[in-house]
Amino acid sequence: MRAGEYLVLTINPGSTTTKIGVYAGEKAELVRNLSHSDEEMEQFKGKRVLDQLEFRLAAVEHELAKDKYDLKQFDAIVGRGGLMRGLPSGTYRVNEEMLSDLRLTRFGDHASNLGAFMAQQISRDGGGTAEAFVVDPVSVDEWSDMMRISGTALVERHAGGHMLNTKAVAKRYAREQGKPYTSLRLIVAHLGSGVTTSAHENGRMIDSQEPGHEGAFSTERSGGLPLLKTIQLCFSGKYTEKTIWQALNREGGLYSYLGTRDLRDVVKMIDAGDKKAALIFDALAYQIAKDICTMAAPLCGKVDAILLTGGMTYSERLVNKIRPYVEWIAPIVLYPGEDELQAMAEGALRVLRGEEQAQELGPEAK
């Protein structure tokens, strides 16, 4: 510990970046975004994500050495939780069951799968004194079976979205209120490149809308679409599976209508008198508000607060457009932006301080 505080290293691997943070308690001492060039990543083209492990580790350990950090200093190493079996929310110790899930890539081969391996290896490189964790992985799933029913036996709904930031914001609000998270009934709307709106009761995320595929559109994702027209579009002969995926997941939403993913650009267009931009902006606020109202139903309308988070929450104009639609449900509290590195550190600190028990994956039920 440093001056009475635990020292925690957090690692968030993305497709072409590795973000790292060093936290003494909740205070960030170091935050870096390590970019990996196209030339560097070319060597891994066509390979599994795990083939990048040694390359990513070398980049992180080099950066820490530049700032005079000794790996033995850390009390915990936290990696971004990847795609594995559905899990309750929490902080999980990295163990062989977790690593086996990630090696098999049954649920997808994504850069976040590297997080647990990196945490474990850096702990070992430091002599094994630091515990290795992941916090609220992408695969957090606290739904009842009823929530999985979609409307056809061919397709099942599944939990997904911005679990790490959503859970961190809910717990932060509870701490600020001096109440247990388990005692609150909350609606949390993460407004970023994707929109995740979720209902929280008794410390569980009991329902949510998958970003990009259900509910509101966002800066680049289409959200829920009219089904029959979407089927016709897919089979029109104009698109391949790859191009339709790109159109709906990276070039949908604001980008599709206005050619920008930046909400600030849209505001400038509106201020310059662009009526189309004003219409799309109003539709964005309206669709987000509908999602929030939808999440009041699982809570039977008894909601303590509506929490807005994510990058779009920085837009006062957007928040003010949303307010009239939803503030009759519960008070609105803002947590602009997202800080996944901070959320990962907070998860480890809760365990180190004895505020919560670390969980571990056991053998998967057959």
pLDDT tens, position by position, 305-360: 999 999 999 999 999 999 999 999 999 999 998 888 999 999 999 999 999 999 99
- pTM for the model stands at 0.84
Does one domain contain both 93 and 171? no
CA distance 265 to 272: 11
CA distance 309 to 328: 19
Label residue 244 by pLDDT band (50, 70, 90): very high
Q: CATH number, domain at 96?
A: 3.30.420.40
Label residue 366 by pLDDT band (50, 70, 90): very low
* Kind of pairing between the strands at 155-156 and 185-191: unpaired
Give the long-range contacts of residues 275-280, CB within 8 A, separation 24 or more. Answer: 280/254
* Kind of pairing between the strands at 131-135 and 91-93: antiparallel
pLDDT tens, 34-85? Answer: 989 888 988 998 899 999 999 999 999 999 999 999 999 999 999 999 888 8
Is 199 a domain residue? yes
**Dihedral sign of CA atoms 347, 352, 356, 359 in order:** positive
Q: Which of 169, 204, 172, 173 is nearest to 189 (CA)?
A: 169
Does one domain contain both 96 and 183? no
Does one domain contain both 55 and 180? no
Is 156 a domain residue? no
Residue 100 in contact with residue 60, Cβ under 8 Å? Answer: no
Does one domain contain both 136 and 209? no
Higher pLDDT, 109 or 30: 30
Does one domain contain both 194 and 321? yes
Is 86 a domain residue? yes
Residue 246: other Cβ atoms inside 10 A:
13
Written as six digits, the tokens of 94 are 């990295």
Does one domain contain both 125 and 226? no
CA distance 320 to 70: 47
> Looking at residues 121-140, what average pLDDT do you find?
93
Is 293 a domain residue? yes
> Looking at residues 261-281, what average pLDDT do you find?
97
Does one domain contain both 173 and 73? no
**167-182 burial, b for 16+ CB within 10 Å, e for fewer?**
bbbbbbbbeeeeeebe
Domain with 219 in it? 163-337
Does one domain contain both 310 and 348? no
Does one domain contain both 169 and 310? yes
pLDDT tens, 176-206? Answer: 999 999 999 999 999 988 899 999 999 999 9
CA distance 41 to 16: 7
Does one domain contain both 347 and 327? no
* Longest Cα–Cα distance in the chain: 64
According to the model, what pLDDT value does residue 351 have?
96
Task: State the chain's mean pLDDT as an integer.
Answer: 93
pLDDT tens, 155-171? Answer: 998 887 788 899 989 99
Is 359 a domain residue? no
Does one domain contain both 347 and 321? no
Is 202 a domain residue? yes
Does one domain contain both 314 and 197? yes
Q: Based on the structure, what is the number of domains in the chain?
A: 2
> Looking at residues 16-30, what average pLDDT do you find?
94
